[in-house]
């Protein structure tokens, strides 16, 4: 049962435009959400996170939005740059003292020049 879903396996965006990556979850006990970026042959690199008590967190070109009622979060990258081309993973923490993360399958973002 996939508790964290990233329904778009890939996304192509023109350089300079906004990239929006989406993530849906089913477990209402998740209390902390993270986005990771992964290049080939490397481990995931932490990008940005958000606590379940917030609805927005911004860090430079990256903003994460959380809609708890819809169990949906999104990552906005603006403006998109060629170096942003990578696989992006959405992850959620179970809460209740359990620190393990549940991951989505990832979205491959391709920034077109």
Site for another protein in 70-109 (CB under 8 A): 89, 98-106
SS3 assignment, position 34? strand
Which tokens sit at 11? Answer: 């996304």
Q: Which is nearer to another protein, 45 or 112 (CB)?
A: 45
Binding of residue 42 to another protein (CB under 8 A) = yes
Site for another protein in 5-24 (CB under 8 A): none
Binding of residue 2 to another protein (CB under 8 A) = yes
Question: Tokens 């929006």 identify what position?
Answer: 20
Residue ranges binding another protein (CB under 8 A): 2, 4, 32, 34, 36, 41-46, 49, 51, 89, 98-106
């Amino acid at each position: 049962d996939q508790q964290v879903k990233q329904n778009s396996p890939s996304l192509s965006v023109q350089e300079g435009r906004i990239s929006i990556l989406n993530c849906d979850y089913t477990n209402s006990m998740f209390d902390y959400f993270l986005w990771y970026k992964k290049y080939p042959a490397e481990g995931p690199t932490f990008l940005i996170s958000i606590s379940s008590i917030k609805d927005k967190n911004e860090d430079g070109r990256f903003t994460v939005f959380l809609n708890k009622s819809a169990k949906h979060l999104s990552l906005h990258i603006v403006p998109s740059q060629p170096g942003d081309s990578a696989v992006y993973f959405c992850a959620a923490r179970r809460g209740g003292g359990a620190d393990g993360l549940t991951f989505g399958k990832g979205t491959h973002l391709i920034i077109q020049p």
